[in-house]
Amino acid sequence: MRKAYLLIGTVVLAMSAFAIAPASAQTGFDRRGGDYTNFQIHSGDPAVCAARCEREGRCRAWAFSYPGSKGVAICWLKNQVPPRVEDKCCVSGVRGAGVVEPHTGASEFSIDRAGGDYRYFDVKPDASGEICKTACEGENRCRAWTYVRPGYIGPAARCFLKSEIKRPRRKPCCISGVVR
């Protein structure tokens, strides 16, 4: 009987923790309107934007736009919670939310695998990194790849093909993957 009460108490506690868990920020969404300030983020990391919203009492939501061809990432703080709109330019969330990158198969969002490059080339902007992944899959020598969003190392997006698999490192500039 005591075990049953303990089990029920654990389930209730877990469910209540789930119910009050904060909403998460999402890559690929913008929140337009309600801006009270904006600023550049030189590191290009959306987590800086989320943290600034946490520190400011009047902030209710935020939106981060990746650096484009001009190489400048911008954080927009908002005094209301506008609805989210799908847009690959951005990451957005509400106060209390961390940054959550999508998990789509073998692609590693916000991961750089620095080193082991045997060639690189500029590509069209691609929020999924699929262009780079496809290029790697088409070359027997390629074992891994890294797509760098435009504005982080130049105005264009760039694909790095790698003959070696290097250790993953968290960097908001990049999307990586291992092919073979």
Q: Is the pTM of this model over 0.75?
A: no
Could you list the residue range(s) of the whole structural domain that residue 79 is in? 23-100
How many domains is the chain partitioned into structurally?
A: 2
Structure token pair of residue 141 = 């020598």
Give the pLDDT score at 98: 64
Summarised one tens digit per residue, pLDDT across range 35-86 is 999 999 998 999 899 999 999 999 999 999 999 767 789 999 999 999 999 9
pLDDT tens for the chain, residues 1 to 180: 544 444 444 333 333 333 333 445 677 899 999 999 999 999 899 989 999 999 999 999 999 999 976 778 999 999 999 999 998 889 899 988 766 655 556 789 889 999 999 999 999 998 889 999 999 999 999 999 999 999 999 899 999 999 999 999 999 999 999 998
Where would I find the H helices in 2-121?
A: 2-19, 46-55
Structural domain includes residue 75: yes
Q: Are residues 122 and 94 in the same domain?
A: no
Residue 66 is classified by DSSP as -
Structural domain includes residue 13: no
Q: Which of 100, 120, 150 is the last residue of a domain?
A: 100
The Cα–Cα gap between 136 and 105 comes to 16
Q: Are residues 146 and 112 in the same domain?
A: yes
Give the pLDDT score at 141: 97
The CATH number given to whatever domain includes residue 73 is 3.50.4.10
The Cα–Cα gap between 148 and 155 comes to 11
Find all residues with CB under 8 Å of 141, minimum gap 6, and list them.
118, 161, 163
Q: Are residues 94 and 122 in the same domain?
A: no
Amino acid at 173: C
Find all residues with CB under 8 Å of 19, minimum gap 6, and list them.
none
Structural domain includes residue 160: yes
